[in-house]
Amino acid sequence: MPDWAEYDEVAPSNTLKSTCAWMKENKRPIKLPNLQKLGLANIDEYPGLDSVKDPQASYGKMSELNNAKDTITGHWEMCGIKAKNAFPYYPNGFPEEILDKLKLAFGVSGILCNATASGTTVINELGDKHRETGFPIVYTSADSVLQIACDIDVIPLETLYKWCELAREIMRGEHEVARIIARPFCLNPKWVAEEIASPSARNDVKAADMKYIRLGDKRHDYSVLPHGKSILNSVLENKGHVIGLGKIQDIFAGVGVPENIHTDNNADGLDKIIQVLKETKENTSPKITQGIKSDKEVIFINLVETDSNYGHRRDPEGFAKALEEIDKRIPEILAEMTDEDILLISADHGCDPTAKGSDHTREYVPIICYGKAIPAKDLKTRKSFADIGATILDWFNIEDSDLPINAESMVS
């Protein structure tokens, strides 16, 4: 976006274009045939991706209205929420006043790390010391977060969750980060078994075989409450359903997302969203079989591995492969859609895997809007991510004047 320089960036970014260019120059052209058919390559010029003459879906890009480039704000804006303030970041670690409050609240005399760090790396660098001392590993990232990592064999999971709740109350006012994240981990059973069998053989430890591994299914996010009403609330008020998959419920602090399905990774998330679509189409979903049926259902999923595993770690090849794996599943999603369904594909921010540093990037985000009964068109550049929410309300014939952002539907 034109204001990229105001966000601590040294050059403008374009996540998709950079990924495509890197692949074409270093490996092979990226392969996204299904997203191409929907019109992805018609949005801009992407090396190795050709536009199509008659795309199946409407296509364009969206500006971020909020002064941010973080997960929480991006998701909020999609649903019509204007953030009241920018969330703080801590690239140099948290101030001593915060650390003192955390230690007092947790009943510990020390805290490990207190820096920007990779979660998988930091638990292996400090895991042994954590086990020796019982001190929590507290770190942050390129996002507005405070993360607490503990070995559940040292600090019980219930205690870790309680510490995160206490941290959430401490991080208020000027220090109100968007999320507190519980990051439980444990000894890797495979590592322990091999170490016992042959300690001298463990000189070159692969990432998958590190001594400590995170327990993703026990992660929990403690987010700030949304800064206003969202279209998810509007749908619920009009006797609709909202189902989140992945981190969606945590991102909205549960507000407007009464039901959430855990996902382990992108592949698992895609499996589960296809299953939810199938059950809804066949009238076999738990809600329908319980007699709770609605013609207004929002299914909201975020596929985070492009960001967490590849964008932040500046791995364009991994980013490209993750996109290709998502692309392969698009036909399965389309096959479960009826004439009454609409599919919206976008992003909550940029995370250019070729940019300097490890931060998110301030960019326009792509938007694909598909429905069997919707004529395809060029959506141009939208003024806000909130056009996604406006489109959903328009599709459901819901009017709500209480939403913080006045956005425009893409289907009217």
Complete domains list, the chain, with CATH: 4-84+228-395 (3.40.720.10), 96-223 (3.30.70.1250)
Coil, strand or helix at 121: helix
Question: How high is the pLDDT of residue 194?
Answer: 58
Please identify which residue in the block is written with the tokens 């039901």.
Answer: 259
Q: Assess contact for 285 and 276: CB atoms under 8 A.
A: yes
Residue 198 pLDDT: 47
- Give the predicted TM-score (pTM) of the model: 0.88
Q: Which of 359, 340, 374, 356 is nearest to 38 (CA)?
A: 374
DSSP strands (E only) in 101-203: 112-116, 137-140, 145-151, 179-187
Query: Measured between alpha carbons, how far is 335 from 123 in angstroms, rounded to an integer?
Result: 42
Structure tokens at 52: 């199509």
| Tens-binned pLDDT, residue by residue, of the chain (412 aa) | 999 999 989 999 999 999 999 999 999 999 999 999 999 999 999 999 999 999 999 999 999 999 999 999 999 999 999 999 889 989 899 999 999 999 999 999 999 999 998 888 899 999 999 999 999 999 998 789 999 999 999 999 999 999 999 999 999 999 999 999 999 999 998 876 655 554 444 444 454 568 999 998 898 999 999 999 999 999 999 999 999 999 999 999 999 999 999 998 999 999 999 999 999 888 776 665 455 678 899 999 999 999 989 998 899 999 999 999 999 999 999 999 999 999 999 999 999 999 998 889 999 999 999 999 899 999 999 999 999 999 999 999 999 988 989 999 999 8
Distance CA 293, CA 280 (A): 10
Q: Burial level of 262, CB count in 10 A (0-12/13-18/19+)?
A: middle
- Which residues lie below 8 Å from residue 133, measured CB to CB, with a gap of 6+? 110, 112
Indicate the angle between helix axes 316-335 and 15-26, nearest 10 degrees: 110
Evaluated on CA atoms 51, 316, 267, 286, the torsion sign reads negative
